[in-house]
Structure 1
Amino acid sequence: MQYKLYKKGQIIKLSHFANAHKELSFNQIIDFYSVFGGLNVENFTGELFLDIENLLLKNYEKINADFNFNAISSYALNLLAKNSRKKYSILRKISHFKGLSIMQEMLNLGILKLEKSKEEKFFKDKRYKLKKDLRSYVIQDKLVFKDNFTRFFFRFLKSNEKLILKGEFDIVLNDIKLNLEHYQSFCFEQLACEYLEEQFQVLNVQSYWNKELELDVYYKDENLCFIGEVKFKHKKICKNILNQLKFKAKRLNLTPDYYILFSKNGFSEQFDKSAEKNVLLYDLNAFKKLI
């Protein structure tokens, strides 16, 4: 196999990946991009798990040499690849000073990039005591891997290093199969944000989070506001997802111009019966615009 990692910090777009891999169908491009986006591979067989085994597991030592980090840094990256990505989440497992040092190093190297929180700081009035649960609350930014492959590596390969080196590929592949849908859901969210930036000709569409709730998609400026949810499930989504989204808007005192839903496998008939002009529905085919 001939491969190379793209330069650290280089953004690898879906369009770049698709143009390099004409041998893949559209659906395959989405799956393969979620795993290999950021790794320059000449061609694929089209069988995702076969290619993971032959291109990644069997070449693990070569690939691992490109991620020359110590054990504690690798562990921190594994935690970020698995969890909510909040900046301070790894500090529950790693000492505060060491964790902050690792985060800064990875940001400087371009392995990670920062997604700034959109949560507004609450006003602290010295005349009144804050509620107990707010006294230690800190607004957190999130940390995002520079590309899909780097996240995949630390999520599934580095954490299974001992098994891979023993050649126990079936166990590793089973772990990947069991957790791939959850892993891919964030890749799907990122593509949704990229799509909406093109659709509305805006920048910095991202997720939103605060102490109480999270939104997969959030954008607000003086002229436009939209929020959304992104579901990467092997089933159609029903209208309760829209109802939950509207409830979140109320909690945030938002009146969005649009409520936006992305679903990998489409929508239930409930949406056909009660079409709303300010509700936009997109399935996987929407991302063809990005290719």
Structure 2
Amino acid sequence: MFIGRKRELAALERLYESGKFEFAVIYGRRRVGKTSLITRFIEGKNAVYFMGVESSAMQNLENLSVNIFEYATGERAEGAFSSFQAALEYVFRLAEKERLILAIDEYPYAARASKSLASTLQLLIDRYKDGSKLMLILCGSSMSYMEDNVLAYKAPLYGRRTAQMKILPFGFADTCRCFTRFSDTDKALIYGVAGGTPQYLLQMDDRLSVEENIKNTFLNPSSSLFEEPENLLKQEVREPALYNAIITAVAGGASRMAEISTKTGAETSICSAYLKNLISLGLIRKETPYGEKSSSRKSIYVIDDNMFRFWYRFVPENSSIIARGASELAYKRIEPGLSDYMGSVFEEICRQYLWKLLLTGKSPVEFRELGRWWGTDPLTRKQAEIDIMGEQDKDTALFCECKWRNEKTGAEVLDTLLERSGLFRYSRKHLYLFSKSGFTKGCEERAGELGFVSLVAYLDVLKVLLSD
């Protein structure tokens, strides 16, 4: 069953329907569903699909040749073109009279094996594009390679592409659509532990409880997810040990650059470069208090991928007992921290809810961006935090508090949010209180008195996100 990617498919269809030469670059982290997207798109269309392999140029050329011959003759044939240029030129000529897609998946493997491949493509695109009906797709999982050698200004193919797509993990709504048997609460928990990466979601079984899923994957040494974060780093970066140490430090609470440097024993300049790479991979996110510049000294680093965040938060500290098969004991140690862990996951789900309201014209505040704020309350001189805030203009903003607890949220939480919103000089405010378990009668009455408050239970968040 194919789920999600409606915008990406629609964009590819628009390119296809133009009838002229198109060149789309698709890239994104491993396991995120790029190949499934391409496979779905080319279904029923004239297409040559070729996946690069981590092998020699000759092997890649042979594989490409087989795919081309199979398309041209309808039969699997042996043999190979004399060169990549001859093979690709043949495809361009096939596309002179009919719409044809050439999809090169895992392009970095083929391009690394044949150093002249990018220049060959550049040459042929420039020669044939004006009269060609070819739709060329280059796809890659090596984010750094695609950005530096395909998209960058100095790359041979720069300026030739007509579209680019960075494929990201699913949001909460599409994650929910992957499962029919999980309860509404369990869907949030699964999103919290597995994130929105399709390949990781496939490891989850909605016939089982969340506890059983965690035991079968993260707490099982034979599971593919047990070593997935470390394996992915080995595939993506040259020095996985230091990258691993940096993510471990961030997961352990070292959120500022100086703290990360101290924990890892690496200089801040080195940590900065490595963090930049982790950000480009979508594993780490740099956060700055809302309204402040990204260069602010208050900036912190957090793990941006739920699966990585869960793994680094709970697996390494229990690795010894997990290796001995004691998944029950490991889960007993993990379970008390799950509710606290889900706090930031729920905040992200609520942000997605707010964006959905905005994009459907139902938001009381037309914000430009959303973010978290933290700083010192000048009255109490204590640290204060606002889970989500967003500004429409200098006079209007929204402020939100999110509570993932098993008890109803009371009026005192609303009053605290009201008080903290007073730290900002907006004449018009709208407050949102999000709660996993609903609200007390006192909270509902207080919200009614204020008149500019929305109380939103988790089930209402889910309903909005899953609506078309």
Tell whether the structures are fold-level matches, with TM greater than 0.5.
yes
Following superposition of structure 1 onto structure 2, how do residues 21-32 of structure 1 map, counting pairs within 5 Å?
A: 21-32=179-190
Q: 2:201 aligns with which of 22, 40, 45?
A: 40
Q: Is the 8 A contact 2:411 2:443 kept in 1?
A: yes
The 1:217/1:88 distance shift into structure 2, 3 A limit, reads farther
- 4-13 vs 247-256, which deviates more? 4-13
Greater shift in the superposed pair: 226-235 or 240-249? 240-249
Are residues 1:204 and 2:379 paired? no
1:66 is aligned to 232
Number of residue equivalences: 273
Aligned residue identity for 2:202: V
Instruction: Single out whichever of 256-265 and 78-87 deviates more from structure 2.
Output: 78-87
Paired position in structure 1 for 2:386: 215
CA distance 1:256–1:286, change in 2 (3 Å): farther
Q: Aligned partners of 1:87, 1:192: CA distance in 2, in Å? A: 28
CA shift, 1:219, in A, is: 0.4
In the alignment, what sits opposite 2:173?
15
User: Structure 2 vs 1, CA of residues 83 and 111 (structure 1 numbering), >3 Å: closer, same or farther?
Assistant: same
The CA RMSD measured in Å over matched residues stands at 2.7
Large movers: runs of 4+ above 4 Å: 84-89
Per-residue Cα deviation, 1:140-160 (whole angstroms, up to 9, x for no partner) = 334343431121111112343
After TM superposition, the structure 1 stretch with the greater mean CA deviation from structure 2, 68-77 or 193-202, is 68-77
Give deviations 1:155-194, integer Å, cap 9, x for gaps.
1123433332232323321222011111110000011111
Compared CA separation, residues 92 and 226, structure 1 to 2 (3 A): farther
Corresponding residue number in structure 1 for 2:250: 80
Distance 1:179 1:256, change over 3 A: farther
**Structure 1 pair 85/152, CA: closer, same or farther in 2 (3 Å)?**
same
Quote the offset at 1:280 in angstroms. Answer: 0.9
Residues 168 and 98 from structure 1, CA distance in 2 versus in 1: closer, same or farther, beyond 3 angstroms?
A: farther
89-98 vs 259-268, which moves further = 89-98
Please show how residues 142-291 of structure 1 align to structure 2 within 5 Å. Answer: 142-201=300-359, 202-211=367-376, 212-222=383-393, 224-274=396-446, 275=448, 276-288=450-462, 289-291=464-466
Structure 2: which amino acid aligns with 1:66? L
Structure 2 unaligned spans of 5+: 1-29, 34-140, 142-166, 360-366, 377-382
Q: Is the 8 A contact 2:368 2:392 kept in 1?
A: no
**Does the CA contact (< 8 Å) of 1:215 and 1:229 recur in 2?**
yes
Are residues 1:55 and 2:217 paired?
yes
The alpha-carbon deviation at position 61 of structure 1 amounts to 4.9
**Unpaired runs of 5+ in structure 1?**
122-136
Which residue is 1:134 aligned to?
none
Using CA pairs below 8 Å that are at least 6 residues apart, which structure has the higher relative contact order? 1
Letter in 1 for 2:321: L
State the alpha-carbon separation in 2 of the partners of residues 282 and 78 from structure 1: 34
Query: Given that residues 88 and 140 in structure 1 are in contact (C-alpha distance below 8 angstroms), is that contact kept between their aligned partners in structure 2?
Result: no
Please give the TM-score of this superposition, normalised by the length of structure 1: 0.82
**1:6 corresponds to:** 32
The answer on 1:99 being equivalent to 2:271 is yes
* Whole-angstrom distance in 1 between the partners of 2:202 and 2:334: 20
Aligned residues of 2:314 and 2:334 also touching (Cα < 8 A): yes
TM score, norm. by length of structure 2: 0.53
Q: Deviations over 1:60-106 (max 9, x none)?
A: 55534234364443232133234385555524523423432331221
The 3 A distance-change label for structure 1 pair 61 and 257 is closer
Q: Work out the CA distance in 1 between the residues paired with 2:345 and 2:226.
A: 26
Cα distance in 2, alignment partners of residues 230 and 210 from structure 1: 18
Deviations 1:198-236 (A, max 9, x none): 223355222112344211010012174111111111111
Contact 2:172–2:191 (Cα < 8 Å) also in 1: yes
Report which of the two structures shows the higher radius of gyration computed on alpha carbons.
2
Indicate the percent of aligned positions where both proteins have the same amino acid.
18
